[in-house]
Structure 1
Amino acid sequence: METITGGVPSLLAGAVGERDRPLVTYYDDATGERAELTVTELAGWAARTAGLLHAGCGLGAGSRAAILLPPHWQTAAVLLGAWSAGVSVSFRGWATAGLPALGPGVDEPFDATFVARDRVDSWLDEVPEARHRFVLGLAPGGAPIADVPTGYRDYVAEVRDYPDSLPGYAMIGRTDAASVDGTTFRQWGSLAHALAETLDLRAGDRLLVDAAAHEHPVKWLLAPLAVGASVVLCANLDRAAVDARVAAERVTRVL
């Protein structure tokens, strides 16, 4: 089996360049939050997530995770971490026009679930059964949750116990399933590169994304990552602020 030892970034052939340059810049215009993660910082969060799943939960190739999270820098960490551990995923909201939905409905059994705190109650009947259930507050600065719901563990509190570098256990095959419907890592890599070409994304580009309009992570994460571009991800986007943000963040493409 042809394998990838460097995790998803290697799989997608993303030449990310300098490790200390911004990779994901996150805005929430409803709260005024701005968070910026370098290549190294996001890789560290992803590695800790992989450690949580592999060492903490005993998950790996053949395991399945349901991700009920909005576009967010922590969502990027969860996705990349799950994939780096060889775990296949299903993501609510991936049934976006023109792009495939990954996996069956969220009522299928899973090994792990990741749910946003503000969605736990409203999605009570939609959260799938799983041995391991994590909740994310998505708070500024990655702060832990004060009121963790019964039956859940706080992702932020748990993930910090794991190292920020991959120990080399994840031998990911290009033909292994990245999603629970059997779509492979190679196929998702190809889709990410094709979308980047459609958007005319190139290494060094800065892509501003309206999170509400483009929930599918192949748009706001995988396509930019595949070609070495970076992302300015905007939740609750204030349209009146777009021009100023484009200038301030040196944005070269808007989605």
Structure 2
Amino acid sequence: MNATDRTPADLLGSALAADPGRPLVTFYDDATGERVELSVATFANWVAKTANLLQDELSVEPGDRVALSLPAHWQTAVWLLACSSVGVVADVSGDARAADVVVSGPDGLEAARACSGARIAMALRPLGGRFPQVPEGFVDYAVEVPGQGDRFVPYAPVDPEGPALIVAGREFSGAEVVERARAEATGLGLTGPGSRILSGLPYDTWEGLNAGLYGPLATGGSVVLCRHVELAGDGVLDKRVESERVTAIAR
């Protein structure tokens, strides 16, 4: 990663330039048996499409707030980087009533209806599948995002010092996210390129977001992100650590 990177989106851009083919996010759901592996290039393509959806279809502007009512999931990671790309605030588990846009998984749809702005529903099905029937009052992300452009350019430069993330009641600028992720990397066992961390932590704390996304991104590493990890026995996790060549664990 480059010392000049000031936002999470900058970090992704540097990762794409350095080695687009390497794995970045490998996702397991131990409730469904799902496994998805996204290279830097594939992840960045999802981010670009989602950022275009935000900017062009939903007309968000830098400083607007996007409430993310989503679990630790590869698609949540995409939304976090898309928000950074546009310059909007990603409010993790935020109040839909205070948001300009809300993005919700199946479990949070009722609370998400309190948002007076755009409402995006995420089915969180394997391979990014659609809802069998779109929830009333929402648009289905899996329907809307495929047609978006594969490259993203913000209409206005993103201010690294502007608000970028709210999690567990604390607000961070994009620069603070990058600086803190770098500062805490060693404590997570992320020592640089090639480091691979397995995280079973939820995304509703800084620690979960750092282990499950920002830390690996800031160090040129990768993450094995595990949802419903409590359903996996120790033997399963031991085999996963070996097969995925994990070098650090956050649980």
User: TM over 0.5: same fold?
Assistant: yes
Q: Is the 8 A contact 1:176 1:184 kept in 2?
A: yes
Q: Which residue identity does 1:235 align to in structure 2? A: R
Gaps of 5+ in 1: 93-104
| Greater mean alpha carbon deviation, residues 24-33 or residues 196-205 | 196-205
For 1:213 and 1:185, the matched residues in 2 are separated by 17
The residue that corresponds to 1:169 in the other structure is: 155
- Using a 3 Å threshold, how does the CA distance of structure 1 residues 63 and 212 change in structure 2: closer, same or farther? closer
For 1:198 and 1:6, the matched residues in 2 are separated by 21
Q: Is the 8 A contact 1:208 1:234 kept in 2?
A: yes
Deviation at 1:126, TM superposition (A): 6.1
Which of 196, 199, 208 does residue 188 from structure 2 map onto? 199
Deviation at 1:119, TM superposition (A): 2.8
Deviation at 1:116, TM superposition (A): 0.3
- Using a 3 Å threshold, how does the CA distance of structure 1 residues 179 and 139 change in structure 2: closer, same or farther? same
Indicate yes or no: 2:207 matched with 1:221.
no
For 1:113 and 1:182, the matched residues in 2 are separated by 18
The residue that corresponds to 1:97 in the other structure is: none
Which of 213, 218, 235 does residue 240 from structure 1 map onto? 235
Q: State the number of aligned residues.
A: 237
| CA RMSD of superposed structures (Å) | 2.4
Q: Is the 8 A contact 2:112 2:119 kept in 1?
A: no
State the 4+ residue runs in structure 1 displaced beyond 6 angstroms.
4-7
Q: Is the 8 A contact 2:113 2:119 kept in 1?
A: no
Deviation at 1:211, TM superposition (A): 3.7
Q: How does 1:43-62 map to 2 (within 5 A)?
A: 43-62=44-63
Q: Is the 8 A contact 2:70 2:105 kept in 1?
A: yes
The residue that corresponds to 2:122 in the other structure is: 136
Q: Highest relative contact order (Cα 8 Å, sep 6+), 1 or 2?
A: 1
Gaps of 5+ in 2: none
Q: Is the 8 A contact 1:5 1:168 kept in 2?
A: no
Deviation at 1:134, TM superposition (A): 0.3
- TM-score, normalisation: structure 2: 0.86
Indicate yes or no: 2:172 matched with 1:183.
yes
| Greater mean alpha carbon deviation, residues 181-190 or residues 229-238 | 181-190
Deviation at 1:89, TM superposition (A): 1.7
Indicate yes or no: 2:99 matched with 1:110.
yes
For 2:243 and 2:225, the matched residues in 1 are separated by 14
Q: Is the 8 A contact 1:14 1:228 kept in 2?
A: no
Deviation at 1:155, TM superposition (A): 0.8
For 1:127 and 1:219, the matched residues in 2 are separated by 30
Q: Is the 8 A contact 2:26 2:225 kept in 1?
A: yes
- Using a 3 Å threshold, how does the CA distance of structure 1 residues 213 and 150 change in structure 2: closer, same or farther? closer
The residue that corresponds to 1:95 in the other structure is: none
For 2:201 and 2:235, the matched residues in 1 are separated by 16
Structure with the larger helix share? 2
Structure 2 SS opposite 1:179? strand
- Using a 3 Å threshold, how does the CA distance of structure 1 residues 227 and 13 change in structure 2: closer, same or farther? farther
| Greater mean alpha carbon deviation, residues 140-149 or residues 161-170 | 161-170
For 1:170 and 1:26, the matched residues in 2 are separated by 32
Deviation at 1:196, TM superposition (A): 1.0
- Using a 3 Å threshold, how does the CA distance of structure 1 residues 145 and 234 change in structure 2: closer, same or farther? same
